[in-house]
Chain A
Amino acid sequence: MKTIQFILQKEFLQIFRNRAMLPILFVMPIVQLLVLSFAATYELKEASFALIDYDQSSLSRELSAQFQATGYFSLEHKTFDTDEALEELKAGNVNMVLTIPENFSRDYSQGNSVSVQMLIDAVDGTKAGMIQSYGSSIIRDFNQNHIREVQLISSKKAPQLSRIELIPVNWYNPDLDYITYMVPGILVVLVSMIGLFLSGMNIVREQEIGTIEQLNVTPIKKSHFITGKIVPFWIIGMVDLVIGLALARYGFNIPFLGSLTLILIVSGIYLIVIQALGLFISTVTSTQQQAMFIAWFIMVVFILMGGLFTPIESMPVWAQDLTLANPVAWFIKMMRMVLLKGAGWQEIQHMVFVLIGMGGLFYGVAINRYKKTAG
């Protein structure tokens, strides 16, 4: 145990003496959390559209006005020429072309079914999807408001008048606020990056500067050595996490429904998992560059498959199975469950055990792979 104290003392001295490293450790995560949380939003803001209104009736004008009234769409261009509108779409000046056909008003009033066309620029698939769903809901509303009038005037009965009405209520995040949803996940990613990269570069750095050889001729125990390497960055990771949680709570007003203690315990376990993985990378590489490259590769896969940007549920089944081996996915899930849903130990314990299993595995492998005697 005393050996570990000496290793810790040395590691902390080196960390706090490294002028390039210190700002990275404490300032970068805060800045990134702030920037990313505001930037990573799925809300549609002011999609521009071109209007081709062949009908020119009060009803068609009302429909286009309804698009603009929501605040999600702004009318950029009005024309009667389809080619011109498509040019605008091609040039990227508008995101969507709305075409209202001739006789729209007449047919509608007579109770016939009519169609309007939305041509959507789908280069950005996410945005296109949002334009489509926002557009359809505007048209649905429009329909709802007018169908009764139509019924009164026309003798025909509207065919699609639905008797079942859907009233969605969003639990846990009632306003569907993306910041609430994103911040816990982004926090996970930042802490993971710090944990993985710093520990990944650590042992290999000793190898680069030649001190590992000097350590390997000492009677130092492998487990002491690895532990002495993990603890300092674990403490720093936890400090970063607490700063991030405070920002999330007081800066972003993220609800903290669950227990903070539980969050901290889970985070502590998670950090050991990710750092042990980093140290394992460190033991199988011979330069910091290699370690960095592998760590980046793993991190990108972890993040993309972690359920931060795309829901795990919408991945193909084989990819969903792969995410079971992704500690980032587990941790993001737990963070969201505890912070936003107020889940307790009962609900997340099986996930915690998975993390503990992973941590034990990586830790063991890292100790095992670190060889004091080369072949």
Chain B
Amino acid sequence: MPEVAIQTRDLTKKFGDFTAVNQISFDVRRGEIFGFLGANGAGKTTAIKMLTGLLSPTSGEGSVAGHDIHSESEAIKKKIGYMSQRFSLYDDLTVKENIRFYGGVYGLSRHILRSKYDEILEKVDLKDEIDSRVGSLPLGWKQKLAFSIALLHEPKIVFLDEPTGGVDPITRRQFWEMIYKASEDGVTVFVTTHYMDEAEYCDRVSIMVDGKIEALDSPVELKRSFSAKSIEEVFIELARGAENSDG
């Protein structure tokens, strides 16, 4: 595993005339929590989809876990976990069945899966709900479960696309504790969010405006260079010049 977990050079995605992601270049170091900030429509999800192999880039280079995103997307998929913006567990399956299915797809044996059930349920505090349908759980629990399932196959890198959208502050706090825990275990965390307070929890933060990365540094450095009190102020400062930030 190289020191650089994710690397992009001039990565670009165009949909017809519209350039969703415009020549972004950045490195994510192994083990760090990398915050990927931007307004709605700034291109965060498009960028994350290119890195996870869901979308092929129009131009530019990129590598994830040492594999080229153009030619080795299936190799990348074995090493990454992904939690999409949309909730993506099966509502009509139980907690246990969801864990079993996704684990099985990643090639985990039934023996390993048995130990995983306890581990995950312990982690998200869902012991009594193992046989409940996921559809009946509150959103916060679902999100925590989805995160645990993204980590099920012990990936080196995990991509989280707005994982805390719509959940209450307490659950958000718990969610971030889970992120810290994963990071301590050596997992590189690539997280998008539009909660600016969450940006403060990250090791480094990039701010995307209109498909371009306008700033990239640690939260402390960002605040100093923009002489702002919070990341929110930095963000507003940068977003003010945007034309189609809400597209």
Contact = CB atoms under 8 A, between A and B. Distances in A.
Asked if chains A and B come from one complex, the reply is yes
A373 B54 contact: yes
Contacts of B104: 2-3, 5-7, 9
Dominant secondary structure of chain A at its interface with chain B: helix
A374 B105 contact: no
Contacts of B91: 209
Given A9-B101, A218-B102, A374 B56 contact: yes
Given A211-B89, A214-B82, A218-B77, A373 B53 contact: yes
Contacts of A214: 82, 84, 88-89, 102
A325 to B, nearest CB: 34
Contacts of B90: 10, 14, 209, 211
B105 A375 contact: no
A63 B54 CA distance: 80
Interface residues of B, number: 31
Interface size class of A (residues with CB under 8 A): 20 to 34
Interface in A346-375: 372-375
A10 to B, nearest CB: 4
Interface string A5-21: 11101100110011000
Given A3-B107, A17-B92, A373-B73, A217 B53 contact: yes
A220 interface: yes
Contacts of B86: 210, 213
A122 to B, nearest CB: 54
B84 A13 contact: no
Contacts of A218: 77, 102, 105-106
B56 A215 contact: no
Given A214-B102, A218-B106, 18 more contacts: A2-B109, A3-B104, A6-B103, A6-B105, A13-B92, A14-B90, A18-B92, A209-B88, A209-B90, A210-B84, A211-B90, A213-B86, A216-B54, A219-B77, A219-B78, A219-B105, A374-B54, A375-B55
18 contacts: A2-B104, A2-B107, A6-B101, A6-B105, A7-B101, A9-B101, A10-B90, A10-B101, A17-B92, A211-B88, A213-B84, A214-B84, A215-B105, A218-B105, A372-B53, A373-B54, A374-B54, A374-B55
